Structure 1
């Protein structure tokens, strides 16, 4: 009994913030749910990033849903990367169920069904508000890291961007970029060599091949206009609830390069756009990246370095990033070390490799006098998790096995009719789904080449005409000379004939 009370006191001290917070559930000790050991997350530390991990079917997505809808209720906008397509139900209130009532009875916490204001976004052909970015906005450095270019190729790309800046050529989509790269070693070869130095055709060919590879993953749909303004992720409804922006990514699971490209673009844009926030009472924006391993799976070392740097710095802008994945090992150690909140659902041990992974996962959590972490990780039920967080002063809170509350919103997806209605009612849909294809580098260079070809053809025709005229002139002069000679000879013959007659 004494140790049980000690456990309750420990959890109250670590998870009972004075400021605004999110109620997650209650601590469990020796199989018992202790409602007086409430587990709450202070809003103040939600920009310190986090991890939600666990085996398939253990409740990761529902935990994500709980945190997201509660952030929305507190006026904090959210961005959800919906890779599996199971998060759209957050827009509608829960239908309720007997097991939900039983769970909340154990927690001694009232259950209230509620939906959140939702925007449906897309970076592909899926329904939703289209998110795009221009090639110019990426710039040569980010683009080089995405394409995994060598230092020489990166230098060439920088020269090409400089040329476009100097000549006022907008680089909007990949079509523009490919056109200017070809132009630099073909029609515009002399122009480039004169002002920027010689560009190797072998290097531009390698860059083009990498761009084509990126296009094959669907990047041509992402690059272009109208560029998405990240401030539109910060919208609130008329009740002051933050919008939950659900980005549908179900069709890019086999295109991790596109996912990494989008994520790097988004994080970089947020970092450069948002002002410094300092020590705020709540975050400006919280992002949840489901199936987070997709970001890191095929990323180059340079790209990983860029992502890691931005994650370290972006919390000063009031932005929290939460990775959702099956195993903490899916996240690079440099990123894992930046995470303030860790929610670990059950892990399953079917092989020796699994047991090794569980041992490593257990070592990522603080030592506890109340739990054998390695063993409890395999014993957790659905909707239960080990939680390690930060208190309001940024200090680690005790590790606690927690029975989580149920989501207030629907634990199922929207129907096609509901989804379509939600999208068509969006206030920002007309802004981003209008097709824009203004004159850019591709069109300008095409016209320039056409004008140059016409000029060249005209000059060639003029040279031919002069050549013909010159030939005709020489022929005419020769004919005149011959005619003179002939005329002279005829005159002489005529004169001699007359003289002969007179002599006779």
Structure 2
């Protein structure tokens, strides 16, 4: 049995913080919570990113909910990716049931039931705030990486963006980029070759197929206007609580390309627009990505490299990223190494492969004199987790098997009338409900092609008319010549002419 006093001293020293903090629960020793051994996470370090992992049913979603609630309470806005559709209840107060009372008595924390300000958002046509982005906002490099283009195709994409910029043709949606590709392959091939160099039609054909693949995952719902403004994620209500923006993604679970496209676009936009914050006392925004494997499973290497780069850089803008998934191995090592807070719920060892994965997972956590990490991971109950964070100096805290507090908000989804109530009172729903289809590259090039076609038609008609006139002239000349010849022959061969000629000849020889 480990020494309780020594354990308490270790936890208190490791998790004491002078600034604002979130108290996740109480550390456990030998399966029981130790009074006073509170596990605190400084707000100051929540832009250092994090991981919430564990098997199905072990409490990952509730941990996410707890973090989001306390961030909101501290005036920090939150964006949550709700893949399974079970996070909307954060808008309504929870209910203190007997098991919650018992849990909070054990961990020594009071329970308070309350709801939080919520915006419901989506990428598709389901109710809520519609999120869109234009192709131009992606830029040629990012858009090429989304399509997983090779170097030659990426160069062509850069030419397309340059051509559209030079000719004031906005690239707003996928039909714009498709139209430009078709134009530079057919009607505009000579124009592009004169100004920007020769372009391979086989490359443009391959690019067009990639765009069609993206369209098949309903990406046309995402690309377009009105573009979502990042500032609308940073709102705080009149009571000083940060808005919890819930991205409802239940209808795109089978469209990982669209999901990863949106996430990369959003992170890039946040990084580009937000000012540097340096070593701030609290994050400006915290993003939770549930079912994070959906981003990484289908992402190309170039896309993964881009995500890893943004994860490394975006914390300087005061933005924290939390990946929620079943197994830490779902997250690439390059990303995993950047995560400061790790909350590991139970994993199940049903197979030899599972046992190997658990040993590998255990090696990602600090060595502890109080736990055999690989054993504890399989013994944790629902609502319990192994936790290590960063203290205010950026040093990893001791590993703590923790009994987590219960969420203050509802641990269930909203009803349809409750969803309608939130959407009907939302200013953002009204703002982004309008679909704008202003003149862009597709319409401009369509007119241009129509003009070229009309000009070609006129030219063809003029040539046909000239050919017809030439034939008529030849026919008239031929006809006139033929008539004169016939008249001469008729005259020469007539009896009167012959008699006249012979009459003259008779006179000459008399």
**TM-score, with normalisation over the residues of structure 1?**
0.96
1:377 equivalent in structure 2: 377
Shift of the alpha carbon at 1:174?
1.1
**Residue 8 in structure 1 maps to residue 8 in structure 2:** yes
Give the aligned length. 504
SS in 2 for 1:393: coil
Structure 1 portions without partners, runs of 5+: none
Shift of the alpha carbon at 1:57?
0.3
Give 1:293-308 correspondences, 5 Å limit: 293-308=293-308
- Asked if the contact 2:44/2:281 (under 8 Å) is kept, the reply is yes
**Residue 465 in structure 1 maps to residue 458 in structure 2:** no
**Residue 82 in structure 1 maps to residue 82 in structure 2:** yes
2:193 equivalent in structure 1: 193
SS in 2 for 1:282: coil
In 2: Cα distance, 1:152 partner to 1:90 partner:
48
Which is worse superposed, 240-249 or 220-229?
220-229
1:360 equivalent in structure 2: 360
1:171 equivalent in structure 2: 171
**Residue 100 in structure 1 maps to residue 100 in structure 2:** yes
SS in 2 for 1:366: coil
In 2: Cα distance, 1:238 partner to 1:303 partner:
39
In 1: Cα distance, 2:470 partner to 2:353 partner:
88
Q: 1:372 to 1:439 in 2, by over 3 A?
A: same
2:128 equivalent in structure 1: 128
Shift of the alpha carbon at 1:267?
0.7
Q: How well do the aligned residues superpose, as a CA RMSD in angstroms?
A: 1.9
1:247 equivalent in structure 2: 247
- Asked if the contact 2:2/2:370 (under 8 Å) is kept, the reply is no
2:310 equivalent in structure 1: 310
SS in 2 for 1:120: strand
**TM-score, with normalisation over the residues of structure 2?**
0.95
In 1: Cα distance, 2:128 partner to 2:425 partner:
11
Shift of the alpha carbon at 1:491?
7.2
Shift of the alpha carbon at 1:292?
0.5
1:477 equivalent in structure 2: 477
Shift of the alpha carbon at 1:32?
2.3
Cα deviation, 1:171-211, whole Å, max 9, x if unaligned, reads 11111111111111111111111112221111111111111
1:397 equivalent in structure 2: 397
Shift of the alpha carbon at 1:476?
2.2
Cα deviation, 1:24-63, whole Å, max 9, x if unaligned, reads 1111112221231111111100100000011100000000
Shift of the alpha carbon at 1:484?
4.5
In 2: Cα distance, 1:61 partner to 1:452 partner:
58
Shift of the alpha carbon at 1:482?
4.0
Shift of the alpha carbon at 1:497?
6.3
**Residue 287 in structure 1 maps to residue 287 in structure 2:** yes
Shift of the alpha carbon at 1:362?
0.9
Shift of the alpha carbon at 1:150?
1.4
**Residue 445 in structure 1 maps to residue 456 in structure 2:** no
Which is worse superposed, 437-446 or 490-499?
490-499
SS in 2 for 1:158: helix
Cα deviation, 1:246-278, whole Å, max 9, x if unaligned, reads 001112222211111111111111100100001
Structure of higher CA gyration radius:
2
1:32 equivalent in structure 2: 32
In 2: Cα distance, 1:31 partner to 1:172 partner:
57
- Asked if the contact 2:53/2:343 (under 8 Å) is kept, the reply is yes
Shift of the alpha carbon at 1:488?
5.9
SS in 1 for 2:48: coil
In 2: Cα distance, 1:236 partner to 1:172 partner:
30
In 2: Cα distance, 1:497 partner to 1:159 partner:
89
